[in-house]
Amino acid sequence: MTDHIIDPSVVEAENAKLSTDLRNDYDSLGERLDRRGISIDAIKNKVAAFNIAVPSWGVGTGGTRFARFPGKGEPRDIFDKIEDCAVISQLTQATNTVSLHIPWDRADPNRLKQAASRFGLGFDAINSNTFADEKGKLQSYKYGSLSAADAATRQQAIEHNLECIDIGKTIGSKALTVWIGDGSNFPGQVNFARQFEHYLDSMKTVYSALPDDWRIFTEHKMYEPAFYSTVVQDWGTNYLIAKELGDKAYCLVDLGHHAPNVNIEMIVSRLAQFGKLGGFHFNDSKYGDDDLDAGSIDPFRLFLVFNELVDVESRDADFRPAHMLDQSHNVTDPIESLMLSASDVQRSYAQALLVNRNELSAAQDANDVLTAAQHLRVAYRTDVEPILAMSRFEKGGAIDLLATYRASAYRAQVAQIRPEVAVGSSGIV
């Protein structure tokens, strides 16, 4: 039996207000799609099977290096975070896994597993953190971790990743995600080749400890926290890493980790074509690694990413990239943002499923440029909300995510038992 945090009667009452309209909207969209030769139920079933992981760190209020403005009822620890994730999962019916970050979420792994399974949640990839120092550890990552010049520091970073694998084994994760902040701030500070060599050597040791059915994901990022050079700075380096490490190594694409205007969907296609696309950290950005809500700035780009994914999926039934949200909520209730983002990611998937791939391919082969472009536009402009809402409704989720969450008064309730965090304190809970 799965425990529900939000009383199901609240969800039912909110859904009752909207279910007749939803049925009408769904049927009318179904008719229109039918004319395009598309079965709405087939799309809905695919959407219903879609899952996106929620990062444990996403449910705490974020901050910038200037300030943090804590919200009420913020999670105090990983167990509160799991409860917040359970709310997101209950209402969206699209996020039944949580991604942990160690050491932020360090706790008895068996308790973690129990706490999650109570709400029907599992654990996605486990994330190591060697971009910040940990209390009690002898070496500092100030000058790098897995790529550091100092052997003892590299060893400590390796051991941290091995510990993450061990924790992951107990809680049921099947992948380790490694993102490092290593790089340099001054020309001449490091020898690029030597630093990368150190990184590869360290990663080979981590890789050799992976269980057979695990994958390792490396995440590239153009800059920050290092501002002159970064060790894993782009998808090319990331691809090299995955190739060097072996079959269990894949590249992760975080949408915010590229220069503005980079054609991310093409990177997605390249990595997938050569069997090295592991998955995503979804978020949106205007300038850099802004970590804004997925779909909030450039929903067309998100659609184009999914257009590539569906293209691969249509040729390879075993293609299963790992989807996760990775965003920072500075001015919104994180639960609200994460619910809407999960739904926006699903929306892009549903829209991409509407593309007539045979006709698109024919137009491409005939160099009929505008017909090809039009296929994408028609799909993107289709309002698929009734499909998303119907999928949620049928699975026991909320037709209107925001209204239902607000009607539940969850945040006000947890604010009674979770003490207010001091203004200006660290964004990391």
**Contact set with ligand PSV (CB under 6 A):** 57, 127, 179, 219, 221, 254, 281, 289, 326
Binder of residue 250, out of Mn ion, ligand PSV, none (CB less than 5 to 8 A by kind): none
* Selected binder of Mn ion within 74, 80, 308, 326 (CB under 5 A): 326
Question: Quick one: tokens of 150?
Answer: 């100092």
Distance CA 1, CA 414 (A): 23
Distance CA 249, CA 424 (A): 39
**How many C-beta atoms lie closer than 10 Å to residue 187's C-beta?**
8
Q: Of 30 and 58, which CB lies nearer to ligand PSV in the complex structure?
A: 58
Q: Which helix (H) or strand (E) holds 270?
A: helix 264-273
Q: Of 47 and 302, which CB lies nearer to Mn ion in the complex structure?
A: 302
Binder of residue 182, out of Mn ion, ligand PSV, none (CB less than 5 to 8 A by kind): none
User: Taking the mean position of all CA atoms in its chain, how far away is CA 177?
Assistant: 11
Q: Is 83 in the site for Mn ion (CB under 5 A)?
A: no
Q: Is 226 helix (H, G, I), strand (E, B) or coil?
A: coil
Q: Is 84 in the site for Mn ion (CB under 5 A)?
A: no
**How many C-beta atoms lie closer than 10 Å to residue 121's C-beta?**
24
Using CB under 5 A as the binding criterion, the count of chain residues that bind Mn ion stands at: 4
Binder of residue 220, out of ligand PSV, Mn ion, none (CB less than 5 to 8 A by kind): none
Question: Quick one: tokens of 366?
Answer: 């005939």
Q: Of 62 and 386, which CB lies nearer to Mn ion in the complex structure?
A: 62
Binder of residue 311, out of ligand PSV, Mn ion, none (CB less than 5 to 8 A by kind): none
Binder of residue 341, out of Mn ion, ligand PSV, none (CB less than 5 to 8 A by kind): none
The 3-state secondary structure of 246-283, one letter per residue:
CCCEEEEEECCCCCCCCCHHHHHHHHHHCCCEEEEEEC
Distance CA 47, CA 71 (A): 32
* Selected binder of Mn ion within 80, 83, 105, 254 (CB under 5 A): 254
Shortest reach from residue 257's CB to Mn ion, in Å: 6
Q: Of 326 and 344, which CB lies nearer to ligand PSV in the complex structure?
A: 326
Distance CA 233, CA 231 (A): 6
Q: Is 284 in the site for Mn ion (CB under 5 A)?
A: no
* Closest CA relative to residue 36, chosen from 360, 388, 373: 360
Shortest reach from residue 267's CB to Mn ion, in Å: 15
Q: Of 182 and 326, which CB lies nearer to ligand PSV in the complex structure?
A: 326
**Count of residues making up the chain:** 429
Q: Of 12 and 77, which CB lies nearer to ligand PSV in the complex structure?
A: 77
Q: Of 56 and 408, which CB lies nearer to ligand PSV in the complex structure?
A: 56
Q: Which helix (H) or strand (E) holds 182?
A: none
Distance CA 362, CA 127 (A): 42
User: Taking the mean position of all CA atoms in its chain, how far away is CA 412?
Assistant: 27
Question: Quick one: tokens of 221?
Answer: 């990022």
Place of tokens 């003490």: 419
Distance CA 396, CA 404 (A): 12
Residues 6+ apart with CB under 8 A from 198: 146, 147, 148, 149, 154
Shortest reach from residue 285's CB to ligand PSV, in Å: 11
What residues from 199 to 238 belong to the interface with Mn ion (CB under 5 A)?
Answer: none
Asked, as a colleague might, if the bond just before 225 is cis with ω within 30 of 0, I would say: yes
Shortest reach from residue 57's CB to ligand PSV, in Å: 6
Shortest reach from residue 325's CB to ligand PSV, in Å: 11
Query: Nearest to Mn ion by Cβ — which residue?
Result: 281
* Selected binder of Mn ion within 220, 258, 281, 375 (CB under 5 A): 281
Q: Is 289 in the site for Mn ion (CB under 5 A)?
A: yes
Q: Of 311 and 326, which CB lies nearer to Mn ion in the complex structure?
A: 326
DSSP character at residue 77: S
Question: Quick one: tokens of 173?
Answer: 């994760």
Q: Of 254 and 293, which CB lies nearer to ligand PSV in the complex structure?
A: 254
Shortest reach from residue 235's CB to ligand PSV, in Å: 14
Q: Is 313 in the site for Mn ion (CB under 5 A)?
A: no
Shortest reach from residue 80's CB to ligand PSV, in Å: 18
Binder of residue 127, out of Mn ion, ligand PSV, none (CB less than 5 to 8 A by kind): ligand PSV
Question: Quick one: tokens of 71?
Answer: 């919200």
Distance CA 289, CA 274 (A): 26
Q: Of 84 and 289, which CB lies nearer to Mn ion in the complex structure?
A: 289
Question: Which residues here bind Mn ion, judged by CB under 5 A?
Answer: 254, 281, 289, 326
